[in-house]
């Protein structure tokens, strides 16, 4: 018995963590990611690689019917020994992870732990039939002439409402662009993927490796009065609160670093993604402008000098400024006037400028309602316009490029679910 316990402890010393993040839980996600980095625990790309399922967000946001089936399917797909925890309070992220590790060591994997003031354990029973989930893993290694290696991570995707034979999705038939009858494979991406917008599901129809059709289907989430985490400073200022320009710049810097971390990770540059997220965490922790500037400068230089990164992203998801305006897109995607590489360059430039002024105490102009993804005083949230643009950008591209295009836009699904209080945001002409 003691030998078995010792073996279990050794096996789960650094458990693979699968994050299931709900829209509206950005603050909790950031706390969990920072704690995982501190502990050195790896993030799993799919259920088969996971030991610990960390569900991030309020339980009410997971739904009681079909919306929660994907979560039940994830749990069933994780091999034992396994554990599951809920993180609803960012201040208790460390406690939740510690509870999950303790359960793994004890071999207890039938309960959920959502730490509250009394450290109570809550039993969670799923009564719904789950959809089968598919895992599409791929590994790529690139040698960059600028001196770094870019190793592709394994990116899984979850399947929903698909015909299955021996666990594989069935293919239909349809005419391709040349009039030939080719197999059509229906492949869903999301809602739980490493480095993927929380709550987003894309349903793709593939012929060969070419995307023929795209349907954007966010996870059903109740409307929330809470402002999106990344937009909070500008919405507070528009509502009449005093917000400093430095606080807004700090949030902008961290938001773009968060997006860049996803893009680097999806492109296979894991080391750069980890460094970028470390700087993001320092920005959110209140690091001084001098420190932040010294941290972001080498990141910007390294990203701009990477010929491999440029080769991987150039020409993908081209969105001209004219097309962006027609679709209601604002912010970096409009300014970039180009492809995924151009959008990355806009993020890098904004990171450098905002890091330098994050200590400014001057009040933010309430008329400056431009968040990290665009204007916040328009009828359509910035990320809604980005989501609406995805199908046109993805159709006709190779499947392997789809995730890079999504990461280069990085829509925030917290925005479409936000219901502002009356007269919180005013339009300024």
- Asked whether the beta carbons of 219 and 23 are under 8 A apart, the reply is yes
d(CA 337, CA 362): 31
Q: For residue range 108-119, what is the model confidence (pLDDT) as tens digits? A: 654 555 444 333
- pTM score, two decimals? 0.81
Residues in Cβ contact with 276 at an 8 Å cutoff, skipping those fewer than 6 apart? 257, 260, 261, 264, 299
Q: For residue range 389-407, what is the model confidence (pLDDT) as tens digits? A: 999 999 999 999 999 999 9
Q: For residue range 191-217, what is the model confidence (pLDDT) as tens digits? A: 889 999 999 999 999 998 999 999 999
Q: How confident is the model at residue 178 (pLDDT cuts 50, 70, 90)?
A: low
- Asked whether the beta carbons of 140 and 152 are under 8 A apart, the reply is yes
Eight-class DSSP state of 68: G
Look at the block and give the residue holding tokens 């600028």: 146
- Asked whether the beta carbons of 267 and 313 are under 8 A apart, the reply is yes
Q: For residue range 154-166, what is the model confidence (pLDDT) as tens digits? A: 433 333 333 333 3
- Asked whether the beta carbons of 241 and 426 are under 8 A apart, the reply is no
């Amino acid at each position: 018995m003691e030998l078995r316990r010792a073996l279990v402890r050794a096996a789960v010393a650094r458990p693979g963590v699968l994050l299931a993040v709900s829209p509206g839980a950005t603050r909790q996600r950031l706390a969990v990611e920072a704690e995982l980095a501190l502990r050195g625990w790896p993030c799993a790309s799919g259920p088969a690689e996971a030991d610990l399922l960390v569900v991030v967000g309020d339980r009410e946001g997971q739904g009681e019917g079909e919306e929660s089936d994907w979560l039940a399917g994830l749990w069933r797909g994780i091999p034992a020994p396994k554990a599951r925890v809920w993180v609803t309070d960012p201040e208790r992220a460390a406690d939740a992870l510690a509870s999950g590790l303790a359960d793994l060591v004890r071999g207890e994997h039938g309960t959920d732990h959502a730490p509250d003031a009394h450290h109570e354990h809550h039993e969670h029973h799923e009564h719904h039939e789950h959809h089968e989930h598919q895992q599409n893993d791929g590994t790529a290694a690139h040698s960059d002439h600028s001196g770094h290696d870019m190793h592709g991570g394994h990116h899984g995707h979850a399947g929903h409402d698909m015909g299955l034979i021996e666990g594989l999705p069935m293919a239909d038939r349809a005419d391709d662009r040349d009039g030939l009858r080719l197999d059509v494979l229906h492949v869903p991406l999301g809602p739980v993927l490493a480095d993927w917008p929380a709550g987003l599901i894309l349903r793709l129809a593939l012929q060969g490796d070419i995307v023929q059709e795209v349907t954007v289907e966010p996870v059903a989430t109740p409307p929330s009065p809470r402002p999106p985490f990344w937009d909070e400073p500008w919405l507070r200022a528009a509502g009449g609160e005093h917000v400093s320009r430095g606080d807004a710049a700090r949030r902008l810097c961290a938001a773009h670093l968060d997006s860049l971390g996803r893009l680097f990770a999806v492109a296979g540059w894991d080391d750069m993604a980890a460094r970028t997220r470390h700087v993001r965490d320092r920005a959110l922790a209140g690091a001084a402008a001098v420190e932040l500037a010294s941290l972001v400068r080498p990141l910007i230089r390294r990203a701009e000098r990477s010929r491999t990164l440029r080769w991987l992203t150039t020409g993908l998801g081209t969105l001209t400024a004219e097309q962006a305006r027609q679709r209601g897109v604002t912010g970096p995607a409009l300014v970039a006037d180009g492809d995924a590489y151009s959008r990355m360059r806009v993020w890098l430039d904004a990171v450098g400028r905002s890091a330098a002024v994050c200590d400014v105490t001057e009040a933010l102009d309430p008329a400056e309602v431009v968040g990290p993804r665009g204007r916040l005083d328009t009828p359509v949230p910035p990320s809604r316009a980005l989501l609406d643009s995805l199908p046109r950008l993805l159709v006709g591209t190779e499947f392997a490029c789809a995730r890079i295009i999504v990461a280069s836009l990085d829509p925030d699904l917290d925005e479409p679910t936000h219901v502002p209080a009356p007269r919180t945001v005013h339009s300024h002409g």
